[in-house]
A and B are shown apart, each in its own frame.
Chain A
Amino acid sequence: MSSERPNGLFRNIPAKVAAIPMIITALVVFMGGSLWTMAYSLTKSKLLPKWKFVGLDQYERLWSTKRWVVSIENLFIYGVCMLIASFVIGFILAALMDQKIRFENTFRTIILYPFALSFIVTGLVWQWILNPEFGIQSIIRGLGFTSFEFDPLYNADIAIYGILIAGLWQGTGLIMVLMLAGLRGIDQEIWKAAKVDGIPTWKTYLFIVIPMMRPVFITTLVLVAASIVKVYDLIVAQTGGGPGISTEMPAKYVYDYMFGGQNLGQGFAASTMMLLAVLVVVIPWAYLEFGGKKRG
């Protein structure tokens, strides 16, 4: 990063030599792999990559496939809800945890615990909890409310929200811990100053603390966004994409067509679209993070 200075290229040679493996990995493995995928998404490769150029045919087919369009819609619903809900819940939990409560360690462990479980376990647990015959519905009916209905996983219109509940349960703990770390990083003097000025606590949080936590928010945003785009195992474990195709996700489409359908070209085209979605998130982040530093 010091190469901004005019003759920076030859400064600190040992450090630069040490960085060469990392640079090569980044260029060859990450960039090279992505470029290779993009190139082969323009071919009609089946089970094995073959260079038979077909232009944008794979993309045309991709966007005229209903399952893909549904997947993108689902990703959008899941993504927006997940981002907003996990930030709000995570921040509120962290703020509550920050009130110098007793047994903070215990609560923190309990709330972070779901994050230690894999998405597969999470998916299976919530599949049972939301199953009308064994889960919440049957328990509440057992209490006497016989007309109670709660079976999100069996109703195609709302099944994606059933997935969202499980995703939030699993992921909110991590957000809370990150936010809590951010809150702890705020200087106590600022709180004291705000108190002296008579600013209510909620206002202090909203207008002073949150803006100061920008770096934490941005890091969390990238973590959550990446986990949203690649969501796969949760779907496989919880609904398998059903009922019908109502909870399909792009990553599952990629896998199913690449290996199940033995159509690499189609899978590559879909994963290139996913890469685009990630870039849409990462580029503004990189700009804010690194561009911001330059200005400061």
Chain B
Amino acid sequence: MKTLRTLFVATTALCATTAAFAADLEVTHWWTSGGEAAAVGELAKAFDARTDHHWVDGAIAGSGSTARPIMISRITGGDPMAATQFNHGRQAEELVEAGLMRDLTDIAEAGKWREVINPPSLLDACTVDGKVYCAPLNIHSWQWLWLSHKAYADAGVPVPTNWDEFVAAAPALEAAGIVPMAMGKQGWQQSGAFNVMMISLLPKEIFLQVYGDKDADVAAGADVARIFKAAADARAMASNSNVQDWNQATNLVITGKAGGQIMGDWAQGEFQVAEMTAGEDYTCLPGLGVNRTLQAGGDAFYFPVLKDAETTAAQGELAALLLDPEVQVAFNLKKGSLPVRGDVDLAAANDCMKKGLDILATGDAIPDFNQLVSSDTRVQIEDLFVEFFADASMTPEAAQERFAAIIADAD
């Protein structure tokens, strides 16, 4: 009994001393590849240096689809972290509605987020009933085709400038023993590539009709059928790419073992870590070189409601820090994404980022997939494409039929 009491006293003392120090904020995210880890390191450094608090890194390896369930079960299970990454949009919708997320409106007003954040749709995605619930951190767009100069030089064909040339060059690459297209075998990458093709190869209205209005007739129509044919091309080109994670696939492009990859601009960070120069060692084609349209999605930090007043105050400081101009530049240069503030200097940005900024400045941005469909629909579509890309005997027509059925039931 005496030992037990000593133990209790010791524990209490320990708790008391920790509380006297500055708050430790546990931040969960799924940024684990080389470029991503470097970028998140910038956030941790800035937070530790500029505030009295301490950044406790809660990286969850895998991908968003592995990490999000863990984050959500922790929040709903009553063990919330201090801050967590989500994509803008509907992923955290119900958590906000259930009152599990902290209202950041006061911080947003103090930081004039409404005026500085560009495009404003990013802040809208954080706003529920006029209140701000998340701090947008960066802009990511999916619609990029990354091409390896080395692979095309080895195969003796010019680097493609659009999707059709890319498909046409595939046999030459295969003859040279190079995988024409790198693609990780995960649902989000495969369905992502499909959505990229839909936006890039068709007028953007069709994408909005399918995912925005959930119009099953359009989804079953002739235009979308063309995209399923293109997806079947991609399936044939990627049949020898035996990797799982997106950064492994990007690495195939970096090392010239694969011709190209459809991946979001976060792939940029990997090229940067490998010290490659855009235009010389690799080429990026926004909108697959066809449509100059980008989807403005991205990452945002949400702050679960906490009981401890001190940690809650520290959350506020972190939220304000994320939108700080210097932090925005440092983070986004490493991450390969675009800053959410229109007023920061990005002289250090490289070719690809400038191309992206140009397109965003002309206003040709459409809302992200995650802002349009619920997670339920997203997982169903991912399941469909995992199956489609793994099974060469599944015809584009059969896949389209199931796709249209999912859209018909979507919410």
Contacts and interface: CB of A to CB of B under 8 A. Distances in A.
A66 interface: yes
A46 B376 contact: yes
Contacts of B78: none
Interface in B62-110: 65, 68-70, 72-73, 76, 91, 93-95, 98
B386 A245 contact: yes
Nearest to A61: B409
B98 A245 contact: no
B104 to A, nearest CB: 20
A236 to B, nearest CB: 9
Interface in A249-296: 255-263, 266
Q: Which one of A61, A66, A240, A259 has the greatest number of beta carbons of chain B within 10 Å?
A: A259
Contacts of B390: 156, 242-246
Interface residues of A, number: 26
Contact of A243 (B72, B91, B185, B380): B185
A46 B386 contact: no
Contacts of A67: 383, 387
B376 A266 contact: yes
Contact of B383 (A48, A156, A245, A258): A245
A116 interface: no
A47 interface: yes
B75 to A, nearest CB: 10
Nearest to B393: A156
Contact of B68 (A65, A241, A260): A260
30 contacts: A46-B94, A46-B376, A47-B72, A47-B76, A47-B375, A48-B76, A48-B98, A66-B387, A67-B383, A67-B387, A154-B242, A156-B391, A240-B244, A241-B386, A242-B386, A242-B390, A243-B390, A244-B389, A244-B391, A246-B390, A255-B69, A259-B70, A259-B72, A259-B73, A260-B68, A260-B375, A261-B376, A261-B379, A262-B91, A263-B375
A245 B387 CA distance: 6
Contacts of B242: 154
Interface string B369-407: 000001110111001001101110000000000100000
Contacts of A48: 76, 94, 98
Contacts of B386: 241-242, 244-245
Interface in A21-67: 46-48, 61, 65-67
Given A261-B376, A261-B379, A266-B376, A244 B94 contact: no
Interface of B: 65, 68-70, 72-73, 76, 91, 93-95, 98, 185-186, 242, 244, 374-376, 378-380, 383, 386-387, 389-391, 402, 409
Given A47-B76, A244-B391, A262 B375 contact: yes
Top 4 nearest A-B pairs (CB, nearest first) are A244-B390, A259-B69, A261-B379, A47-B94
Nearest to A68: B383
Given A242-B386, A256-B69, 14 more contacts: A46-B94, A47-B98, A65-B380, A66-B402, A67-B387, A154-B242, A244-B390, A245-B386, A255-B69, A257-B379, A260-B65, A261-B379, A263-B375, A266-B376
Interface in A224-249: 240-246
Contacts of A245: 383, 386-387, 390
Nearest to B70: A259
Nearest to A243: B390
Contacts of A255: 69
Contact of A263 (B73, B244, B376): B376
A4 B122 CA distance: 68
